[in-house]
Chains A and B, each alone.
Chain A
């Protein structure tokens, strides 16, 4: 069955200075879904978003918003989108409220009550009548979120929305986005932080060098992020390494500073290793689990190339 996509990219390409910054990118965002664009700095997330909202032209491909080609039905398509592209730059000589009024005036069906509602939602009631130049980074971000929500768009696009938000703000934003999604809004969120995507999204598209590497449910992507276990211990680290090589031949251990680093997936494995170390007389005074950074995951994914599916099966 073909699902109706709120947003659909088909073979979208952007050439800049002779290079494909976005390279034949295709994906679809379903109604009521929170969709993540995940990729390291310079992957092409912002460039993709700029094309969706019509700030830059496409070198090739097609973008559909609720079935409308943005090149043929630009105004109709944009009416359905609310967006933050990189930092939300507002008029700093106007108050937050007057900034929102600017957009309220030119979008269909935004009443004063709606403005108040959105202001309350992003918790800017205190500062909304102060000039934006007095705002902190997080307050600007909140105002940015507010202007994107004003006209109740069916497609919400947020480029690194948690940028500058405090933990409470991030938490609230996540909850609110989930609420909107449950009410049928489709949401695209970009980020280079895997953990953030994990908390927020239903599916993620992993992008690198402008190319789509994979699209998957977020749990599939994050679960494969093998943990690196750091054992902090007293005694000869090299002896400990040999011990591991003896008992866990399939594991490769690294030695760094005062730690022994082992890749491990399950609690069982970690427990076993610890037991061996303690029994051999090492004083283990700390065990730290560190998920691989996204960069490392990318290296792995791109390095393994065609084996991606295999990995994702192993992850489940």
Chain B
């Protein structure tokens, strides 16, 4: 009961900051803007003559493939062009229009927005501990009759709840605006994906739901990482900077180490769980969804142990 009061205190503090309202409003506005823009610029001629369009695309693709093979570009360039080519062919044959937008298709298209949310979550998580040390308010909090781990846990719970809240807002906004502008249907709309060089038909709605679930797990791990950084550093801007650097440079780093045998045991290749939704997106080989979930669990536990151990022992001289 009293622990929940600690959590609601943190929650109130998060929502008393102006930036929090920007974090909430911005994704909603972007989704609304994209929905309106897409609707206004919808090309009905392409929509009804999509077969012509796709046939033309394939002609271009063929030339590009030939060129890619000649000028010695890396193999995967030609490969991915070929995949696209095959998918187009399949679409023509089975009469599946890639130009049909439904609310679910819209949600799939909006998925990359979650990295924006990731950024917001990092800011909040990095600031929630380091910010209080920087301002000195932490000492007013730590002289209350609560063990330190309870205070820290309340901050962690509040941050996770906030991440969840942002994520719900994004999902709700994309679904709502998608439905308003493109209709409420589309649960059974298929899309094409390549598995082991073969084309499969999958449901967009299934993709969207799986994507949302996996993304939330990514969010949680991001929170644990940023939260650890937040506890280790006294300045919130330094903490935010380091967390952002780790998260975004980490993804770039994956490319450099991808050929190493130990690459799959590092954090960042495992952070991208949505790679398992589409074959061929994997940069580091030899990983699977259960493997990555296991690795993330181990890393999360490690982060949390470090965070709580450091916080418990630390002398507060703020």
Contact = CB atoms under 8 A, between A and B. Distances in A.
B198 interface: no
Contacts of A87: 136
B8 A105 contact: yes
Interface in B1-54: 2, 5-6, 8-9, 12-13, 16-17
Interface residues of A, number: 32
Interface in B115-165: 135-137, 139-140, 142-147
A94 B318 CA distance: 20
Contacts of B318: 89
A74 interface: yes
Contacts of B316: 50, 55-56
A294 B8 CA distance: 47
Given A54-B143, A147-B140, A89 B135 contact: yes
Nearest to A84: B140
A106 B317 contact: no
A79 B146 CA distance: 9
A44 interface: no
B315 interface: yes
B313 interface: yes
Nearest to B313: A57
A88 interface: yes
B169 to A, nearest CB: 22
Contacts of A55: 139, 142-143, 315-317
Contact of A89 (B5, B12, B137, B142): B137
A98 B317 contact: no
Contacts of A74: 145, 147
Given A57-B315, A98-B16, A81 B136 contact: no
A135 to B, nearest CB: 14
A105 B1 CA distance: 11
Interface string A63-103: 00000000000111111010101111111111000100011
Contact of B137 (A77, A78, A91, A105): A91
Contact of B13 (A76, A89, A91): A91
Interface residues on B, range: 20 to 34
Contacts of B147: 74-75
Interface string A121-155: 00000000000000000000000000100000000
A199 interface: no
Nearest to A79: B145
A65 to B, nearest CB: 11
A204 interface: no
B16 to A, nearest CB: 6
A90 B140 contact: yes
A53 interface: yes
Contacts of B313: 57
Which of A76, A91, A103, A147 is most buried by chain B, counting CB atoms within 10 A of its CB?
Answer: A91
Interface in A244-277: none
Contact of B16 (A50, A53, A77, A93): A93
A107 interface: yes
Nearest to A85: B139
B13 A85 contact: no
Nearest to B136: A89
Contacts of B142: 54-55
Contacts of B16: 91, 93-94, 98
B13 A94 contact: yes
Contacts of A108: 145
Contacts of B13: 91, 94, 102
A283 B144 CA distance: 63
Nearest to A157: B143
A57 B145 CA distance: 16
A105 B4 CA distance: 10
A189 to B, nearest CB: 16
A223 to B, nearest CB: 36
B315 A90 contact: no
Contacts of A89: 135-137, 139-140, 318
A50 B16 CA distance: 29
Contacts of B145: 74-79, 107-108
A36 to B, nearest CB: 20
A76 B144 CA distance: 10
A78 B12 contact: no
Interface string B189-202: 00000000000000
Nearest to A55: B316
A249 B137 CA distance: 59
Contacts of B315: 55-57
A149 B239 CA distance: 34
7 contacts: A56-B316, A74-B147, A79-B145, A87-B136, A91-B137, A105-B9, A106-B6
Given A76-B145, A78-B144, 19 more contacts: A50-B317, A54-B143, A55-B142, A56-B317, A74-B147, A75-B145, A75-B147, A77-B145, A78-B143, A83-B143, A86-B136, A87-B136, A89-B135, A91-B135, A92-B135, A93-B16, A98-B16, A106-B9, A108-B145
